Copies of this chain bind each other. A is one copy, B any other.
Amino acid sequence: MTDSSSAPRNVAFLGLGTMGGPMAGHLAKAGHNVTVYNRTAAKAEAWVAAHGGRSAPTPEEAATGAEVVFLCVGGDDDVRAVAGEAMTALAPGGVIVDHSTVSATVSREMDALAREHKVFFLDAPVSGGQAGAEKGILTVMVGGDADAFAKAEPLMACFGRSVVHMGPSGAGQLTKMVNQICIAGLVQALAEGLSFAQQAGLDGHKVVDVISKGAAQSWQMENRGHTMLDGKFDFGFAVDWMRKDLGIVLDEARRNGAKVPVTALVDQFYADVQAMGGNRLDTSSLMKRLTR
């Protein structure tokens, strides 16, 4: 193996959820030595049975001996706990890559803490959902040290089709926030358009086919328009997760002074969907609030 980018490397993956599980799988498939950790240990055992590698009982033990440690956990406090533990076990120069969607504040906090330990912390949230994770075609938006990015990039390419360094610590999370802002208002607009079409007695499917050829076109219209009309809302990314992400957005907007009135309103509409019992429905379920 003369090409160091394809040489097997010792890595750890902490958090084997809907996203983390298949992402770690792509690293194993590429030939890397993957040690996994999951809070519920049974999930880690099942992952090892399917993909090889080995499991460890704590983040610290998983990280020991790894060059790069990947994280895909729930919220700010999970990142603090898991990354904080992992960085004490890493050798100097090691890199922690956090694929969780959390605040830019916690990313910068972890970045500073990592530097004290002579290691690096990259915030690297992803988009593309469960399907993107399974197919290994995620978009990875990365913030943090450029050399650490260069070191981890070939590994992230195992599950990412587009892996981009967006700027200093926090820039990955901030980019993901822009993504979620754009989606929130767009999906609501689409839902309003489609429910208007229904109320007006139009053939909604025909309307989607026609207007998706022009200036109203969007990925959401092409991929969710027809299913929204059919009342099908089981396509992955759940309302509960979207509300978590929008909470992070609204917090950050309060800090940086950005005006996001429609985003704030759509967050409240998602609260309506939750109140209707739609916590686990996908984000296109905004449609449910508008139809009878």
In the complex, which residues of chain B have a beta carbon less than 8 angstroms from the beta carbon of A213? 139, 161-162
B207 touches A166 (CB 8 A): yes
Which of B192, B215, B249 touches A185 (beta carbons < 8 Å)?
B192
A216 touches B182 (CB 8 A): yes
A210 touches B164 (CB 8 A): yes
In the complex where A167-B202, A186-B185 touch, is A196 in contact with B262 (Cβ < 8 A)?
no
Enumerate A201-220 residues with CB–CB distance to B below 8 Å: 201-203, 206-207, 210-211, 213-220
A171 to B190, CA, bound (A): 18
Tell me how far the C-beta of A146 lies from the nearest C-beta in chain B, rounded to whole angstroms.
14
In the complex, which residues of chain B have a beta carbon less than 8 angstroms from the beta carbon of A166? 202-203, 206-207, 210
Enumerate A252-292 residues with CB–CB distance to B below 8 Å: 252-253, 256-263, 265-266, 289-290
Interface residues of chain A: helix, strand, loop or mixed (majority): helix
**Residue A183 lies at the interface, judged by CB distance under 8 Å to chain B:** yes
In the complex, which residues of chain B have a beta carbon less than 8 angstroms from the beta carbon of A252? 196, 200
A199 touches B139 (CB 8 A): no
In the complex, which residues of chain B have a beta carbon less than 8 angstroms from the beta carbon of A290? 258-259
A178 to B210, CA, bound (A): 11
**Residue A6 lies at the interface, judged by CB distance under 8 Å to chain B:** no
A164 touches B206 (CB 8 A): yes
**Residue A17 lies at the interface, judged by CB distance under 8 Å to chain B:** no
B186 touches A216 (CB 8 A): yes
Tell me how far the C-beta of A256 lies from the nearest C-beta in chain B, rounded to whole angstroms.
4
**Residue A148 lies at the interface, judged by CB distance under 8 Å to chain B:** no
Tell me how far the C-beta of A216 lies from the nearest C-beta in chain B, rounded to whole angstroms.
4
A217 to B216, CA, bound (A): 11
In the complex, which residues of chain B have a beta carbon less than 8 angstroms from the beta carbon of A184? 189
In the complex where A166-B203, A185-B186 touch, is A263 in contact with B192 (Cβ < 8 A)?
yes
A127 touches B214 (CB 8 A): yes
In the complex, which residues of chain B have a beta carbon less than 8 angstroms from the beta carbon of A177? 196, 200
B185 touches A181 (CB 8 A): no
A202 touches B175 (CB 8 A): yes
Tell me how far the C-beta of A130 lies from the nearest C-beta in chain B, rounded to whole angstroms.
12
Known: A166-B210, A196-B256. 11 other contacts (CB 8 A): A175-B202, A182-B189, A185-B188, A185-B192, A188-B262, A192-B259, A192-B263, A196-B252, A196-B260, A217-B218, A262-B262
The 7 closest A-B pairs by CB, nearest first: A185-B189, A218-B218, A182-B216, A196-B258, A181-B193, A199-B258, A182-B193
A-B contacts, 23 listed (Cβ < 8 Å):
A139-B214, A162-B213, A166-B202, A166-B207, A167-B202, A174-B201, A175-B197, A178-B193, A178-B197, A179-B193, A184-B189, A185-B188, A185-B190, A186-B189, A192-B260, A195-B258, A199-B253, A199-B257, A215-B223, A216-B219, A218-B219, A262-B262, A262-B266
